[in-house]
Structure 1
């Protein structure tokens, strides 16, 4: 009996010790585009995507439109919830106390500034001028209200998590939708990656030490691309998923360059914890094994749309526009509006980042 009591004591002591080493974050700062935006684009006017201000956007969790490009919560929301923090308020919203975190992400945002898109002839497609550089500028303006001295800032940001993206996807979206070829757009990738790395370095210089930098999604599985950039060559389509292989190979090219650049950034900043978030494989698993994750409908079919056809996408009438409709319960679909995922899709990606294996180390981990 004494041996059993001692064994149990040691076991529970070990559990308590391990739990005590878990990284505790007291605030989260998020940057990026529509995969992370919790209301900034809507609060800025949402001129180029007005349907985001109405149901069925937000129908699943919030029961009203919040400015999120989904039926409910996003990856950043699930991360905040898992860390025991409130959902991040948008920087351009009514909330002004950002000590527990804030979201700077804007739907349609790019890594590159507007001048780049003017040079490549894609400026007229831009949803917003609020690039990653502008978002970090907002953070720099906010910083004095969060901490006053170098020591205060170091103590505060040591317990803060910085989510630098996803960003860069729209840089390519605008280029591809301007009818640039894959070969042309590939020449832009080093510049986009360089900008993401420079922005991450900028945050580190302001005191960020815990940073998550996501790669791009498999855009060849995007119903919008499958509709607009469909190929007459059957060999361009993956036999298992139905995704466009050349576009997915492009995403992998971006991610490979980003991973290499992040390795160099770690060497430059050995004190920082810089984690690559593998959005590509986290999302691709959902396309490969949809039933395993509860998606009973084809993963390439858009839940909310008005297009008919194989993907239910109509580029002139997206979700929320007259004539659009829901095909069913969003929780049984992976794709929401042809561009973005459902809450159920984002939940699965978030779990892969929070607990592994799509972030190394996972966001919630034991030291």
Structure 2
């Protein structure tokens, strides 16, 4: 099965992942005719993390416009206002999943090859690209920052080298395809550190975390010197969470270019208007405190919430007014029908886009 998967991926890369023309004499991407007159991919980033896309396609998912016509997903998202794509990468995902926990990934979704395939597709459509390193075989998030199985017994010095080597390996494979990368996350939602227990961070002790972040940072710059490196944590409305971590990183010599955020209001228990305002206030304060731009890397709310469009419109409008807020990414907006139990996409249960996309067409 693995060999078959590699053959499919190689074919996809050679032919621009199914929808761009191949040209043996010219490796430059082939864009749809007159694209430059139709799509403005510059300025404020309006982004979509579509890391599940290839797995969804393999499972038979299709994506439709408002009239019910099916489209290739990334092309459709571009028509709906998106100009940037975010892609997560796991180290050895077929090693990090457990059937007992409800996770199983024998085909290696979100490994290096899968990420290169999706990055090539995004590149050929003119998207700007963010790569999100989890430094794990499975989800890295506020509650889970596990080492990859292959790194379990490494010393801390070896762990720093593993971070650098993995970052270099993946980014080199992407660059070899002629793909530019604008942003790179070194870790995902690392509110308490990463690669625990070695890289755990707590108030007053961020030294090891800072060293791991710096290992990733330096590796990014060696491959993509102009790429902006993001340190990303959750609850963008919670300023104290950001201040202690970034004060610690600064004191311990950690390197970053952009502060990344997540925000997922629960309208049943939270006032999304207040959360939006608190997050916008936090963005402004962090820019001033650290002289650092901020990016909303993950924004989401249940697709069928009656005020979903108002939520996204309110946040995007206010974020665009902040000079050093670089953009807003939604997390897996293409998901629908309860895919993997996730209900915060921007498509309805029939696979058609909801009105929430209007927030990204402005």
Category of TM-score, reference length = shorter chain: 0.3 to 0.5
TM-score relative to the length of structure 2: 0.37
Could you say which structure has the larger radius of gyration?
1
Bigger strand fraction? 2
TM-score relative to the length of structure 1: 0.37
Bigger helix fraction? 1
